[in-house]
Structure 1
């Protein structure tokens, strides 16, 4: 118990640093000072465009809509919402009670204005730390954690907190990077000494799935950028051909990478629907 509390205090301090990082746009400022980070950022942005152009990004949104199901009567937590993600407004419209939290007060306030503009009086966006006792909300039917779960080095503590905040049988939907493919592990290891957000960047290893299994049932899982990742470097040679090949490979990824097995661990990203035990 003492070790758990020590770990929680350490993560709370890291979250404080993370809040300052995004509150003051330090990501952008430091990018201008570091060539490796600028290169990494350019690759990351290019990969994002590739995901959109091949339909990989929209496929994840479609899965999330399916997993969310009928939200009437549901209490939802949109965790690490920033300025809102692709489904945030839609989720807020469809549920009974909607909480959107972020470590950055600036980003949460921006999204609160978007909710008010939509006339969603039952929805709130505000600054809060998921791990902190001051965030007292419990009994969520759904936690929507888009690109959030991998920010916790002590992943089991994150899972325990999510389990505590969900109703029995409640669901958590996640989307995170994987670090199980040899090439991605190598590239990430090379970049990490230059990474200005390394303290809260912990892409999933195989160990994460073991920890999940102790507290949650994996109802659904889907890996992306498995076979399709090989088309991404070809964008520099022939963008149209690369996008076409990426779409074809993505369809195979959807069919092959939907369970916790070897094909999944060759992917770069994973999304899951987890049910609290």
Structure 2
């Protein structure tokens, strides 16, 4: 960048620090989603969401700075007028950023004014921007990891022993609850109990074959499906990262800059297309409501 917002290599250091913290928090999200309820790990989730909000602020700052530098450079090189606009449009990354931002945020404002309900854009839009990364990094991970409500930590113990014996209590003359327990006191009784215990230890216990009931089989199926789904999701994302960042894979696809720009353009144009689709649907609904009441 010709005019970086930070001196020397400060921007690169900030990027690396945020990148490592982000990866760490993603791993933490998977761990918490597998074994913690949101109510039980409230402050852990709050801390992650605060960092994601800070990261969103950094991304917004970078987007605004790139837009400012791109416009200023194009105007300086073209000297203003129509040539400056053409110069801006000819720059692929800058064009993609502008179209994506306009198709998302500008359409939100336009649609809100069309429906005469723009107030939430002034009261909730800023919090929504800062919460957007949490919707992806927290809710998505939690949803994938909890495709079925699994109770972890049982170690395969699916049944509860209920035959624990019965203790009979009764009231004595004073009205207090008392319990009578038979305890051997004679030496011969103690010896007999010891010999009986030794005989029990010498017996070979034949394990009865375990059979899963229908409910347990259904739960195991849901658990297996959830596990395979999460593994497939993680693997597909890792493959995508490897393809984009590794220059040795699919070298015919271009170098790192070309790959990242292509992927970046695909994401931005996808966002623009989905936003246009939603905006079209909202306009159609508005027209139908006007004519049909």
TM-score range, shorter chain: under 0.3
TM-score, reference length from structure 2: 0.22
Looking at secondary structure, tell me which structure has more helix per residue: 2
Higher RCO by CA contacts (8 Å cutoff, separation 6 or greater):
2
TM-score by length of 1: 0.23
- The structure carrying a bigger strand percent of its residues is 1
Which is higher, the Rg of structure 1 or of structure 2?
2
